[in-house]
Structure 1
Amino acid sequence: MEEERQWIEEVLAGNKQAYAQIINKYKNQLYATILRMTKNPQDAQDLVQEAFIKVYHQLGKYEGKGTFSSWIYRVAINHCMDEFRKKRYKMQQLEISEDQVVNSNHPEVIFMKKEKNRQLEKLIGTLPEEERIIILLRYVNELSYSEISELVEVPVSSVRNKLHRAKKKLRETIKREGGDFHELSNNR
């Protein structure tokens, strides 16, 4: 956190090289989140670049309230939401490559994990946008309820309720269509 504050101060003082440190720290996390929102690697890359430009121009607005990571996520997600509204973005199915599956050399394990990930991505894609984002922030980015609350600008209780509803919808769909996802158990 102290390191980030120093980078921010340096960028605001005119040192553009310090901004590279911020980009390096957050680019992979933002890309992963935005990729799951867009389901398209090229669109995700474009949106991450645009989000970092927006963050750069709004850096002076960061007041130090809450964590910098929550603030940067909020700017990036708000930018994506604006773009989705502008373009009436159509979600596409993300093909998960074998490289993205856990490194197991057994072909059956690779196939099962790949298929399970594909099914889960498809299920999450059926959720309403707000619930989909909350699911991704919680389970992919492993953010706390309070961090998600800060990002999507709703009370923590609403985050909990939306997360509960989203998981319930996913469980019902799985039950209806058949499937087994331990990750969606009630205690997670």
Structure 2
Amino acid sequence: MDNGASSYRRFLEGDKNALIDIIEDYRKGLVMFLSSITGDFCLAEEIAEETLLKLYVDKPKFSGKSSFRSWLYSIGRNTAIDHLRKASKFEKVPVDDFYDLADKEDIERNYIKNEEKKHLLRALEKLNDDYRQILYLIYFENFSNTETAKIMGKSERQIRNLLYRSKESLRNILEKEGFRYEGI
């Protein structure tokens, strides 16, 4: 029997120091082996810790059919494969990409814009049906005046007039509420 098997047996019998011996004897080699699987030294260290934690928590049975070292490495290999399989389900984004996130997205500006949209939608609810429909079709659905005319069953001239009146009506509602929205 090699030292790892006897240390593991002592651990199973209640000697907590025996696990420390196993960690000291096998951790570095296990990390190097797992690094060859993961291609990432830091991840290999995490998986090695997880493997050794399995010994402590799960206390798997060592049958002695192989050396303790090959048995431990096979547990590590299986743990690494499980980890890589789970990680492959998620898109990997390098941490460095998050440093520019605040620059790309101004959180305060987005919050204000969302509040303005909510205010605009409340004002739209106060308009009559034709005004609300034409503004929705043209500005939210990006239909042309011709397409909007077909949808609403009106001529293009009626649509232009209706669009002008609906924008004026919306602007008046917003100004009465002390709000000015860009693009109206």
What TM-score does the superposition give when structure 2 sets the normalisation length?
0.45
What TM-score does the superposition give when structure 1 sets the normalisation length?
0.44
Structure whose CA Rg is larger: 2
